[in-house]
Structures are given as C-alpha cells and as structure tokens.
Amino acid sequence: MTLAGFARRKDFIGGVLVLLLGLGAATQSAHYDIGSLRRMGPGFFPLALGVILAALGVMILLTGRRASEEASAPYRPEWRGWACICASLVAFIVLGRYGGLAPATFATVFIAALGDRQNSLRQALVLALSMCLVCVVVFWWLLQVQLPLFGWG
C-alpha cells in the first residue's frame, strides 16, 4: 500500500469515527434539558461538542478524499511516539494522585513532547513549563478544579 493510499484510508477511518462520536454525543444530549444560551442546561455542552465533532469528522473525510498521490514509501509505525504518549498518561494518573496538578501536567506534556523526534529536551521543557502555567491559570485558578496544585502523598 502506498503512503498516500494509507493516508487516505487512515483519514477516512478517522473521519468516520469522529463523525460517529459526534453524532452519538449529540444524540445522547437529547436525554437532558438543553436549555438556552442564557440558561444552559446539562445537555447543552454535549450537544455543542457533538455538533463540533461531527463537523470535524466531515472535514477530515473531505481532506482524506483530496489527499494527493505522494511517492510510495513503506509505512513504519512510530513506536517512540506511542510509548511516550502511553507513558505520559500513566505519569498523569500517578502524579495527579500523589503529586498534584502542576507536577502531573508538567510530566505529561514533557514526556509526550519527547515522542516527537524533532523536539529537543529544551523545546520539551519550554512547552511543558508553558502548558503547566496555562493549566494552573485555567483549571486551578479560573475553574477551581478540586485537584490540589501540589500534593505529597
């Protein structure tokens, strides 16, 4: 299979999955009161998210149909990326429980950024620090999520 053929197939499958996920979320939101823009009910967010996901799925499908033919190259899975993403999820679970929001966010972003071969340690560090700052401001300060900023045990 050529690289372009794989990309089209991957985009088609991904687009269908995102479209189905969006339609499922929008359908399930009908079981809740949607409310209005002024007084949103519990079903408003799942409906909005479902519509956005469905639209994104359609855009992915259309992009997959327009993929240009590229030089054929054998497909090699990116094991480093997979390993780093899985390790970052484990790091968030462990550090979120025992370390708090800031260390969990830092470790998650830093480890996941190392999955990209083009990132250096310095770039991963800067990205992790900036995302940690954004996460603290948005989730801990603005939204007041009940996860301690730092915790020891």
Residues 86 and 58 in one domain: no
Q: Is residue 72 part of a domain?
A: no
Q: Is residue 110 part of a domain?
A: yes
Domain range for 83 is 79-142
Residues 88 and 124 in one domain: yes
Residues 47 and 84 in one domain: no
Count of the separate structural domains present in the chain: 2
pTM: 0.59
Average pLDDT over residues 40-46: 88
Nearest by Cα to 95 from 141, 132, 134: 132
First-to-final CA distance of the chain: 50
What is the C-alpha to C-alpha distance for residues 117 and 131, in angstroms, rounded to an integer? 20
Residues 53 and 83 in one domain: no
Q: Is residue 125 part of a domain?
A: yes
Tokens found for residue 39: 């007084």
Residue 114 burial (10 A CB sphere; 0-12, 13-18, 19+): buried
E strands present in 26-140? none
Residue 86 has pLDDT above 50, yes or no: yes
Residue 105 has pLDDT above 80, yes or no: yes
Tokens found for residue 57: 């799925």
Residues 86 and 116 in one domain: yes
Q: Is residue 91 part of a domain?
A: yes
Residues 58 and 90 in one domain: no
Confidence class for position 10, pLDDT limits 50, 70, 90: confident
Residues 35 and 88 in one domain: no
Q: Is residue 122 part of a domain?
A: yes
